[in-house]
Amino acid sequence: MFLKNKTYNIYPLNVGSCNGCDIELGALFSSKYKLEKWGLEINENPKKADLIIITGPLTIKSKNFFQKALKSSNNLKGVIALGSCATSCNLFWDNYPVYGPPDKFTKINLYVLGCPPKPEAILEGINQILGLKIKKPKVVIPYGFRGRLKYDSKKCIGCLTCIRFCPAGTIIAKRTEKGLEMEYFYGKCTFCGMCAQHCPTGAITLTSDYKMIEKDKKKFVTKGKVKK
Ligand code: SF4
Ligand code: SF4
Ligand code: SF4
């Protein structure tokens, strides 16, 4: 039974992904989620795309392909940046073959964060862009899942161990006359959990919140001040 008469074509645009995000996108199109009932289809022809989902940090080699695909879409309703790489290059931010992030060259309508994001988060993003109300099955969060970062400045002693262990350059500490300003831009996070694992006080934790979806990636931030 089809709930919609219309077909929505989703074009996955991999511009240097490790394939982790693409696998989760593929999982979303498995029989578990029954997206075909809503007319949602993966279509490898960018000209027909209603929605483009970008994965990867945008490498130099994929630049031309990336620009051509975006220009050829005639019916586009939106572009999603999927995962930390497509949002902010993730831990590849200073790698020589990386040209991105993609939003340097095109408008992104929605950032769906994670490394990789769960299929249910991707579905939420698709719902938002296409104006659909597809329900997700019950979400199971596996033991040890690492989602949205939470920082508690009251517990922080300003030792900066988290910065030393972070591979993604996510954490900034600024010393001021009043104390220490800590900022975690987890839009660039690889969700490795090293900061939380090595924090001596539990001031930084990775929660089970997997729904990290924003129109503005600057909102993927947690911060606080450690007073002198
Ligand atoms: S965000 Fe993580 S899973 Fe996705 S492409 Fe980048 S490294 Fe791979
Ligand atoms: S989980 Fe922590 S250490 Fe790992 S990339 Fe994110 S901020 Fe850095
Ligand atoms: S969050 Fe933890 S590791 Fe980072 S500066 Fe504070 S106490 Fe140290």
CB burial readout 134-159, b (16+ within 10 A) else e: bebeeeeeeeeebbbbebebeebebe
Residue pointed to by tokens 């006359």: 177
CB 157 near ligand 3, within 6 Å: yes
How many angstroms separate the alpha carbon of residue 220 from the centre of ligand 3? 19
Q: CB atoms < 10 A from the CB of 188, how many?
A: 25
Q: Looking at the CA of 57, name the nearest ligand.
A: 1
Q: How high is the pLDDT of residue 227?
A: 83
Give the residue-averaged pLDDT of 2-11.
80
CB 201 near ligand 3, within 6 Å: yes
Q: Atom of ligand 2 at shortest distance to CA of 169? A: 8
Q: How high is the pLDDT of residue 5?
A: 74
How many angstroms separate the alpha carbon of residue 157 from the centre of ligand 2? 18
Q: How high is the pLDDT of residue 103?
A: 98
Alpha-carbon torsion 16, 19, 24, 25, what sign? positive
Token pair, residue 125, equals 């993003």
How many angstroms separate the alpha carbon of residue 197 from the centre of ligand 2? 10
Contact 90/188 with Cβ under 8 angstroms?
yes
| Residues lining ligand 1, Cβ inside 6 A | 17-18, 20-21, 55-56, 83-85, 90, 115-116
CATH of domain 8-130: 3.40.50.12280
Q: What pTM did the predictor assign?
A: 0.95
pLDDT at 3 over 60: no
Probe target for ligand 2 pocket from 94, 113, 194, with the most ligand atoms within 8 Å of CB: 194
In whole numbers, what is the pLDDT of the chain averaged over residues?
A: 95
Token pair, residue 95, equals 């790698």
Q: What is the pLDDT of residues 33-74, one digit of tens each?
A: 999 999 999 999 999 999 999 999 999 999 999 999 999 988
Q: What is the pLDDT of residues 194-223, one digit of tens each?
A: 999 999 999 999 999 999 999 999 999 999
Q: Atom of ligand 1 at shortest distance to CA of 190? A: 2
Contact 85/27 with Cβ under 8 angstroms?
no
Burial grade of 129 (CB within 10 A; 0-12, 13-18, 19 or more): buried
How many angstroms separate the alpha carbon of residue 158 from the centre of ligand 3? 5
Token pair, residue 222, equals 């947690």
Check for a shared fold between 8-130 and 149-227.
Answer: no
Q: How high is the pLDDT of residue 2?
A: 52
Contact 21/53 with Cβ under 8 angstroms?
no
Residue pointed to by tokens 């040209």: 99
Q: CB atoms < 10 A from the CB of 192, how many?
A: 17
* Domain definitions of the chain by residue range: 8-130, 149-227
Q: Atom of ligand 3 at shortest distance to CA of 180? A: 5
Q: How far apart are CA 150 and CA 205, in angstroms?
A: 5
Q: How high is the pLDDT of residue 188?
A: 96
Q: What is the pLDDT of residues 142-171, one digit of tens each?
A: 999 999 999 999 999 999 999 999 999 999
Q: CB atoms < 10 A from the CB of 87, how many?
A: 30
Options 3.40.50.300, 3.40.50.970, 1.10.3720.10, 3.30.70.3270; CATH for 149-227 is: 3.30.70.3270
> Nearest C-alpha to atom 6 of ligand 1 is from which residue?
85
Q: What is the pLDDT of residues 90-114, one digit of tens each?
A: 999 999 999 999 999 999 999 999 9
Q: Looking at the CA of 156, name the nearest ligand.
A: 3
CB 98 near ligand 3, within 6 Å: no
